[in-house]
Amino acid sequence: MDDQQLLRYSRHILLPDIEYQGQEKLLHSHILIVGAGGLGAPIAIYCAAAGVGKMTICDFDDVDLSNLQRQIIHDTQSVGVNKASSAKQFIQLLNPDAEVIAVTEKQTEASMKVIAKDVDVIIDGSDNFATRYALNRIAVELKKPLVSGAAVGFEGQISVFDMRHDKSPCYHCLFPDTGDRNETRCADNGVFSPTVGMIGTAQAAEVMKIILGIGESLEGRLLLLDVKSMQWKNIQLKKDPSCAVCSK
């Protein structure tokens, strides 16, 4: 790190759990963020500000005026611009140290697997089950940690599925793909804007903890947030020995 980086990240370096060596880990890490919307925005902002050195951001949607109520990485001038490209522009202004690869076209599961091959952590900031199941299969196949979040209305949830560990449950263990699951999206049901910020920021924290190897991750736990009552509920998760994805 040069003098400017030492100053920029000084409050991290002061932490005994991080120090110089931990900040170096962040600077040399590579994460994949799928979705540059309500969840992806705070994930990308905090990870970039904290010094995560490289991030690949995937989103084929364009910014819409209705997104700006919660997707804080975009602004009014971004309306009509691809979300991944808009996020890249924001991050480059926030922290020039961060290398951002913007993937702006819709990916197949096979092409996403290629993208994910060299990353340290996969982060699910999507809003649909098809993408969540695909990312889970990729994480299982590549043995990568997957940080998963979701939010709608005044409620949210977050968990970590760390497929580097044989005993970790996967997303399919928690929500088996029966083929008839109804989607509940913000576009159809609305969302209280701070909800996605709270879940996305928690995801960013889990990502950095994984990279740094500190603390206790949410592997094997599901956190449920009710913003109206401002309560978090902690549910223990176990690997499904008959899971069609991770117990083959």
Q: What are the φ and ψ backbone dihedral angles of 56, each rounded to 5 degrees?
A: -100, 125
Is there a contact between 103 and 56 (Cβ–Cβ < 8 Å)? yes
The one-letter amino acid at 6: L
Q: What are the φ and ψ backbone dihedral angles of 228, each rounded to 5 degrees?
A: -60, -40
14's CB contacts (< 8 A; 6+ apart) are none
170's CB contacts (< 8 A; 6+ apart) are 136, 139, 140, 146, 161, 163, 239, 243, 245, 246
Residue 246 among the catalytic residues: no
d(C-alpha 53, C-alpha 58), whole Å: 17
Q: Active-site residue among 58, 186, 243, 246?
A: 186
Is there a contact between 93 and 75 (Cβ–Cβ < 8 Å)? no
3-class secondary-structure state, position 100: strand
In the 8-state DSSP scheme, what is residue 61?
A: P
| E strands in the chain | 30-34, 54-58, 99-103, 121-124, 145-152, 155-162, 221-226, 231-236
Q: Which residues are catalytic?
A: 186
